[in-house]
Amino acid sequence: MEQRVSLITLGVSDLGRARAFYAALGWHSDTDPDMGVVFFQTGGSVLALWGRGELAADSGVEDGGGWGGVTPAYNARSREEVDAVLEEARAAGARIAREGGETFWGGYSGVFVDPDGHPWEVAHNPHWTVRADGSIELPKS
């Protein structure tokens, strides 16, 4: 198995609402609105939105009903961008679970929660490189 993640699918209860939320953050999808799924090109990977019940059945798992131990993160280029993204998410209807602030690991982050309850950490990590194209490069040990 190559060391990569191709796609993350977020299960949602209202596909149109979920798509509109991510569109309000400035994201664009070419997926036909009649398709029953939405795909966003996210750098070299893809973020999908799909009905949560369909995703649970397709994934062969029972739905615990809440959060299930997976949190995506967006690494910003500065502390100011963290705060700006949290404001943008708030304006789009997200709940802010944690306002931007210093973290125990020497960075700065906050958390927004999308309309389906999926948290996103928004972080500035001074130890990691965010390249011009948005990709992340871990430090070499």
Q: How near is the Cβ of 4 to its own copies at its closest, in Å? A: 4
Pattern 3-22, binding to its own copies, x per CB under 8 A? xxxxxxxxxx----------
Give the H or E element holding residue 49. Answer: strand 45-51
Check binding of 28 to its own copies (CB under 8 A). yes
| CA–CA distances in Å: residue 17 to residues 22, 23, 33, 36, 45 | 9, 10, 12, 12, 22
Q: How near is the Cβ of 82 to its own copies at its closest, in Å? A: 11
Rule CB under 8 A: which of 50-109 touch its own copies?
52, 55-56, 58-75, 85, 88-89, 97-98
User: For its own copies, which residue of 15, 31, 79, 115 counts as binding (CB under 8 A)?
Assistant: 31
Check binding of 129 to its own copies (CB under 8 A). no
